[in-house]
Structure 1
Amino acid sequence: MSSDLNEKQLIQKAKMGDEKSFESLILGCQSKAYNLAIRYLKNEEDAMDALQESFIKIFRHLNSFKEDSRFDTWVYRIVVNTCNDILRKNSSRKTTDSIFRTEDDKEMVVEIPDSSGAPEEVYDKKEKSEYIMSCMDKLSQDQREIIILRDIQGFSYDEISEILKCSVGTVKSRINRSRLKLREILMEQNL
């Protein structure tokens, strides 16, 4: 509860122009916001652009934040909207990046929670991740969005409801339909 109070104080100070308070608020959600952007855009450079653009929007519109939701939820909503804007702008550009990328002839893993284990296990995880991500590319934008928010980023139903500005019932329904569609695609690809 004291963290909520502290957040409210930081928001009030930031609204009055205190840059350090704004910075503290942003630092608290920057990592999750970046992970969200990278999952949407599948490209580090685009994700960084989306984050920068989002933070500028947040700074410019901080006074319009009504504080009826948590600050980080408001930030994630802006990041999601910014990513969707970028995807619309770049819809003619087809990307082939996956959650893995190559840099200087070295393969770098963008995010794997547990990289320990035998090389066969690591390779198997990589193959499964690539396969699932390629199947997710066959989902509609709305279906991909809801799976990223719930199953990859781990947002609660309430948080997703706030981010997407829809009811919790709608969120649950969309998640169910999206998971069924992904399962259908996975099964078709396995044949």
Structure 2
Amino acid sequence: MENLEGRLTKLALKGDQRAFAELVELYKDRIYHLGYRMLNNRHEAEDIVQETFLRVYRNLDRYDDNQKFSTWIYRIATNLCIDRLRKRRPTYSLDAELSDQEGTDGYSLIPSDNVTPESELLLSETQRTIYEAIDELPVKYRSVMILRYLQDLSLQEISDVLDMPVTTIKTRVHRGREFLRKKLGPRL
């Protein structure tokens, strides 16, 4: 993947539209899942995907090929999500948003590209409980926990994405786990 990603990025930098389209295809679902987990809203997650790729396209000439493309695109998407969360009114409750949503069916939580209603039902109650607890984390912990455990990035990759020292990332992962342990302790 990393080799393919590098070739596609170089071609896209030279103006190859098909290479850019392949990069979009490679990352659109991952960016959607990241956006959905951070924002808890399908429409906003779709907006994040579009805005991320628009920014990538506009700023492709600024991409530093000494870093992984995935790190760069995750940084853009994560920052867009954090910006949206910050713009929400302080009185706006994430819990209230859940009731306005079309449903909490866990669509974006399923890693397969072939999501079906049957596969959605297979999400266990434990998974749902964990995802709900992650949604309640403060933003600075939520983004780290999502990148670490749902996007499966290493601590160094998260450090690169969020532009923070690895020690800060380790601390936030630890505190995020502690928050989840306290929240989930009696239920699990």
TM over 0.5: yes
Tell me, which stretches of 5 or more residues in structure 2 are unaligned?
116-120
CA–CA distance in 2 between the matches of 1:4 and 1:88?
33
Tell me, which stretches of 5 or more residues in structure 1 are unaligned?
116-120
Give the partner amino acid of 1:182.
L
Give the partner amino acid of 1:21.
A
Aligned to 1:54: 52
Q: CA 1:64–1:112 in 2, change beyond 3 Å: closer, same or farther? A: closer
Aligned to 1:70: 68
Q: CA 1:102–1:14 in 2, change beyond 3 Å: closer, same or farther? A: same
Structure 1 residue matching 2:158: 3-state secondary structure: helix
Give the partner amino acid of 2:8.
L
Aligned to 1:172: 170
Report 1:41-190 matches (<5 A).
41-92=39-90, 93-96=92-95, 102=102, 108-110=105-107, 111-112=109-110, 122=122, 125-126=124-125, 128-187=126-185
Is the 1:41–1:47 contact (alpha carbons within 8 Å) kept by the matching residues of 2? yes
Is the 1:50–1:86 contact (alpha carbons within 8 Å) kept by the matching residues of 2? no
CA–CA distance in 2 between the matches of 1:7 and 1:135?
34
* 1:84-123 CA distance string (max 9 Å, x none): 111112244434355xx646xxx744134699xxxxx958
Farther-moved stretch of structure 1 (55-64 vs 131-140): 131-140
Quick check: which one's strand share is greater?
Answer: 1
TM-score of the aligned structures, taking structure 2 as reference length: 0.79
Is the 2:31–2:49 contact (alpha carbons within 8 Å) kept by the matching residues of 1? yes
CA–CA distance in 2 between the matches of 1:29 and 1:113?
13
Structure number with greater Rg is: 1
Aligned to 1:7: 5
Q: CA 1:76–1:113 in 2, change beyond 3 Å: closer, same or farther? A: closer
Aligned to 1:40: 38
Which is bigger in relative contact order (C-alpha 8 A, separation at least 6)? 2
Provide the aligned length of Structure 1 versus Structure 2: 175
CA–CA distance in 1 between the matches of 2:57 and 2:132?
35
Aligned to 2:21: 23
Identity of aligned residues (%): 31
Is the 1:147–1:178 contact (alpha carbons within 8 Å) kept by the matching residues of 2? yes
Structure 1 residue matching 2:27: 3-state secondary structure: helix
Give the partner amino acid of 2:93.
K
TM-score of the aligned structures, taking structure 1 as reference length: 0.77
Give the partner amino acid of 2:21.
E
Give the partner amino acid of 1:168.
V
